[in-house]
C-alpha cells in the first residue's frame, strides 16, 4: 500500500485527500494514515493539511520498497520487490526466494550487505547508503549454455540506465563490468541452477557505485563512483527502476532468437575494449590481440597479430587493457 500511496502522490503533484486515497485503495483512513507515517520514517517528507489532504514535498535518496516500486514502469521485472536495510548478500537472498518458488522478475535490494561477492569469489565492498546492491530472478526457457549471454544483457541495461539518469558515457568492459574513464563503476555476477538441458532458475547480482567519494586503498586506482565522475547526486531508486526497464526490454528481444544477433551492434557501441589492444589472461597462457567485438553468442572476438580471430568465452578468462584495467 505504501508504494501505491507514494505513486499517487507523485503523479498528482498537489494535495490528495485522505478520503480519495481511501477510495482508490479500498482501505480505511487509519490505514492510510499509518502508511503515510511509515513513508515519512523511510525518508519521504509529506505535508498533511486539514481539509486538503496529503502532499509529497520531497524524498530522500532511499531505496525502500515504496521508493523503488513507485518508479517502476515494467510489466514484471522488479514487481515482486523485497527490501532489506541490511543483509548478508542479495544473491543469497534471491537464491532462497528462487528455491521457494518466487516468480521471474523478483528483485531483492539492500541498503548494505556484509557478505557480497564478485566474480571468482572476490569480496565486494558494500558500505551503506552510497551504492546499489540488487539481485533479480529469471526463469528463462532456454538451453543452459545460452545463459552466459544474460550477463551481457545486464551490462547493457545498467549502462543505458546510467546514461539515461546521468548523461555519463559509461562503457562495458566485457563481460561483466561497467567503467567510466577507465575505472570500474559496476560489477555484475550471474549464477544458474540447472540440469543438462533445463534451467531451473538464474539470478543476476548487480553492484553500482553511486555516491562514494573514497575507496579502500587496494581498489582506489581501479574503482570510481557516479558522484566522483559526474559531480552530482544520483537517485538510486530511479537508477534501479531504469535498470529494470532496460533489462526487461533487452531480455524480451533476446528471447525471440536466444542469441545476441539483434543486439550485437548496440552492445558493441557500448564496448570499452572495441578496437583496443587487450591482454587475454587465459589459464593455458596469456596472449595479446585487438578486440573486434562479440559474436552472436556473446563471445569476445580477439584478432591475433597474424590476423587469426579467436573467440574468448566468458567465465574462462579475464581480459585487461595492455596498459591498465581497460
Taking the domains of the chain in order of start, what are their residue ranges? 2-59, 65-270, 277-321
| Model pLDDT, residue 268 | 97
User: What would the pLDDT profile of 137-163 be if each residue is shown by its tens digit?
Assistant: 999 999 999 999 999 999 999 999 999
pLDDT in tens, 15-49: 898 898 888 889 988 888 888 888 888 778 888 88
- Torsion angle, alpha carbons of 280, 284, 287, 290, to 10: -50
Ranking 5-14, 66-75, 114-123, 168-177 by mean pLDDT, the lowest is 114-123
Tell me the backbone φ, ψ of residue 229, rounded to 5 degrees.
-85, -35
> What CATH code would you report for 65-270?
3.30.930.10
Query: Residue 320 — very low, low, confident or very high, per pLDDT cuts 50/70/90?
Result: confident
Comparing C-alpha atoms, which of 184, 81, 99 is closest to residue 136?
Answer: 81
**Distance of CA 17 to CAs 24, 32, 41, 57, Å?**
11, 10, 20, 15
pLDDT over 90 at 164, yes or no: yes
Closest CA to 56 of 19, 21, 16: 16
Domain spanning 2-59 has what CATH number? 1.10.10.10
pLDDT digits (tens, 9 = 90+) for 234-262: 999 999 999 999 999 999 999 999 999 99
Q: Give the pLDDT confidence of 86-121 residue by residue, as tens digits.
A: 999 999 999 999 999 999 999 999 998 887 555 445
Percentage of the chain beyond pLDDT 90 is 62
Q: 277-321: what fold? A: SH3 type barrels. (2.30.30)
Phi, psi of 279 (to 5 degrees): -110, 120
Please list, in sequence order, all residues whose beta carbon lies within 8 angstroms of the beta carbon of residue 232, skipping any fewer than 6 positions away.
166
138's CB contacts (< 8 A; 6+ apart) are 104, 105, 150, 201, 202, 203, 204, 251
Query: How high is the pLDDT of residue 214?
Result: 87
Which pTM value belongs to this model?
Answer: 0.85
Separation of alpha carbons 10 and 12, rounded Å: 6
The whole-number pLDDT of residue 45 equals: 85
Mind giving me the DSSP string for 300-318? Answer: EEEE-TTS-EEEE-BTTBE
Amino acid at each position: 500500500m505504501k508504494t501505491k500511496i507514494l505513486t499517487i502522490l507523485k503523479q498528482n503533484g498537489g494535495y490528495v485527500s485522505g478520503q480519495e486515497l481511501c477510495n482508490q485503495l479500498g482501505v480505511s483512513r487509519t490505514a492510510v494514515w499509518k502508511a503515510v507515517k511509515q513513508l515519512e520514517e523511510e525518508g519521504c517528507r509529506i505535508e498533511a493539511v486539514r481539509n486538503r489532504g496529503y502532499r509529497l514535498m520531497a524524498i530522500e535518496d532511499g531505496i525502500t520498497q515504496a521508493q523503488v516500486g513507485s518508479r517502476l514502469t515494467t510489466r514484471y521485472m522488479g514487481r515482486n520487490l523485497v527490501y532489506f536495510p541490511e543483509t548478508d548478500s542479495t544473491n543469497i537472498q534471491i537464491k532462497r526466494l528462487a528455491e521457494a518458488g518466487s516468480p521471474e522478475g523478483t528483485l531483492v535490494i539492500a541498503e548494505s550487505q556484509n557478505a557480497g561477492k564478485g566474480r571468482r569469489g572476490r569480496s565486494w565492498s558494500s558500505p551503506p547508503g552510497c551504492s546499489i546492491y540488487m539481485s533479480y530472478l529469471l526463469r528463462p526457457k532456454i538451453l543452459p549454455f545460452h545463459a552466459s549471454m544474460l550477463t551481457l544483457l545486464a551490462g547493457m541495461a545498467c549502462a543505458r540506465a546510467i546514461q539515461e539518469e546521468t548523461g555519463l558515457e559509461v562503457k562495458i568492459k566485457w563481460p561483466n563490468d561497467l567503467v567510466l574513464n577507465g575505472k570500474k563503476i559496476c560489477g555484475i555476477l550471474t549464477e544458474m541452477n540447472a540440469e543438462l538441458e533445463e534451467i531451473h532458475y538464474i539470478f543476476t547480482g548487480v553492484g553500482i557505485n553511486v555516491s562514494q567519494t573514497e575507496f579502500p586503498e587496494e581498489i582506489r586506482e581501479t574503482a570510481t563512483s557516479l558522484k566522483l565522475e559526474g559531480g552530482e547526486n544520483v537517485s538510486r531508486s530511479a537508477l534501479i527502476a531504469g535498470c529494470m526497464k532496460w533489462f526487461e526490454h533487452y531480455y524480451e528481444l533476446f528471447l525471440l532468437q536466444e542469441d545476441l544477433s539483434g543486439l550485437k551492434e548496440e552492445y558493441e557501441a557500448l564496448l570499452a575494449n572495441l578496437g583496443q589492444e587487450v591482454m587475454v589472461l587465459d589459464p593455458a597462457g596469456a596472449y595479446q590481440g585487438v578486440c573486434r567485438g562479440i559474436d552472436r553468442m556473446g563471445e569476445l572476438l580477439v584478432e591475433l597479430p597474424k590476423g587469426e580471430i579467436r573467440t574468448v568465452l566468458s567465465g574462462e578468462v579475464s581480459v585487461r587493457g595492455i596498459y591498465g584495467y581497460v
